[in-house]
Amino acid sequence: MLELKQINKVFFEGTPDEKKALNGLNLTLQEGDFVTVIGSNGAGKSTLLNIIAGVLYPDRGSIKIDDKNVTYIPEYKRSKWIGRVFQDPMAGTAPNMTIEENLALALGRSKKRSLLKGVNKGRRHEFKELLSSIDIGLENRLNTKVGLLSGGERQALSLLMATFSKPRILLLDEHTAALDPARAELITKITKDLVEQHQLTTLMVTHRMDQAIELGNRLVMMDAGQIIFEAHEEEKKKLTVEGLIQEFQNIRGSRFVSDRTVLTS
């Protein structure tokens, strides 16, 4: 349902600062795939997600979603198919709006304008139920400004907003990295539950190798703008953190380097 072919993305081409962020990258996702993405610093992980979301256009190559060529379709038009959660808890929600206003906004992105008549009673009930499902007490704070929530609460809300319209693809870019371990654990659990509940096709960049192994049905390792290693289903279940690091070393002949990667849990 998602197909990336021969994607190239170069920043500052032809200057001394030239950076090949993506270099002939190929990736195909099947409906319902949950793919975890790991890689060294600057491997191109965020660029890959930006290319899929339409924040950036590739210099070469093509992107198809459900057999439709979307390579140069702008981000705002693609957003109805794509849910995103970023590393920064401040990025996915509007701080000066209440929880219910944020939810209404997210709903508005996926539905026709005519269906939107503000936050009425029925909708409020729907929002409460939705918030109850993640079980962190947000259902009692519908009128709280989102700017007052903790980072973890904001990420939970962002996840809900990114998923409740059942996007064709969910993109997560280290969305637990800025949280303390307990909150990161909680957000990981909520992610797992939401992805399972809606059967979402998901691409999740994580700096936690153990998490990349544990979650999802496929794992890809990126380096220098390419996918250098992939594991599916049974093969993925057998992976270990040490094994992955060794794999990187075997392929690249150098050590896996990332400032944020947690090698053990």
Ligand X SMILES: Nc1ncnc2c1ncn2[C@@H]1O[C@H](COP(=O)(O)OP(=O)(O)OP(=O)(O)O)[C@@H](O)[C@H]1O
Q: Which residues bind Mg ion (CB under 5 A)?
A: 45-46
Q: According to CB under 6 A, which residues from 225 to 264 bind ligand X?
A: 258
* Distance from C-alpha of 72 to C-alpha of 12, rounded to nearest angstrom: 20
Residue 178 Cβ vs Mg ion, minimum distance, rounded to whole Å: 12
Q: Which is nearer to ligand X, 22 or 134 (CB)?
A: 22
Q: Which is nearer to Mg ion, 45 or 236 (CB)?
A: 45
**Are the beta carbons of 220 and 29 closer than 8 angstroms?**
no
Q: Which is nearer to ligand X, 43 or 171 (CB)?
A: 43
**CA torsion angle 90 94 97 98 (round to 10):** -60
**Are the beta carbons of 230 and 220 closer than 8 angstroms?**
yes
Using the rule CB under 6 A, is 179 a contact of ligand X? no
- Residue 10: how many other CB atoms lie within 10 Å: 16
Residue 259 Cβ vs ligand X, minimum distance, rounded to whole Å: 7
Q: Which is nearer to ligand X, 21 or 244 (CB)?
A: 21
Closest of 180, 192, 151, 186 to residue 36, by C-alpha: 192
Q: Which is nearer to ligand X, 43 or 149 (CB)?
A: 43
* Distance from C-alpha of 83 to C-alpha of 99, rounded to nearest angstrom: 18
x/- mask, ligand X, residues 28-67, rule CB under 6 A, reads -----------x-xxxxxxx--------------------
**Are the beta carbons of 191 and 174 closer than 8 angstroms?**
no
> Could you tell which of ligand X, Mg ion, none binds residue 92, using a CB distance below 5 to 8 A set by kind?
none
x/- mask, ligand X, residues 72-101, rule CB under 6 A, reads ------------------------------
* Distance from C-alpha of 167 to C-alpha of 6, rounded to nearest angstrom: 25
Q: Which is nearer to ligand X, 86 or 127 (CB)?
A: 86
* Distance from C-alpha of 250 to C-alpha of 232, rounded to nearest angstrom: 19
Per-residue tokens: 5: 């072919």
Give the binding-site size for ligand X (rule: CB under 6 A).
12
Residue 45 Cβ vs Mg ion, minimum distance, rounded to whole Å: 5
State CA 11 to chain mean position distance: 22
> Could you tell which of ligand X, Mg ion, none binds residue 41, using a CB distance below 5 to 8 A set by kind?
ligand X
Q: Which is nearer to ligand X, 12 or 76 (CB)?
A: 12
Task: Write the DSSP assignment of 177-231 as a string of letters.
Answer: TTS-HHHHHHHHHHHHHHHHHHT-EEEEE-SBHHHHHHSSSEEEEEETTEEEEEE
Q: According to CB under 6 A, which residues from 113 to 142 bind ligand X?
A: none
Dihedral sign for Cα 131, 135, 141, 144, please: negative
Find the residue with minimal CB distance to Mg ion: 46
> Could you tell which of Mg ion, ligand X, none binds residue 183, using a CB distance below 5 to 8 A set by kind?
none
What SS3 state is found at 20?
Answer: strand
> Could you tell which of ligand X, Mg ion, none binds residue 11, using a CB distance below 5 to 8 A set by kind?
ligand X
Which spans of this chain sit near ligand X (rule: CB under 6 A)?
A: 11, 19, 21, 39, 41-47, 258
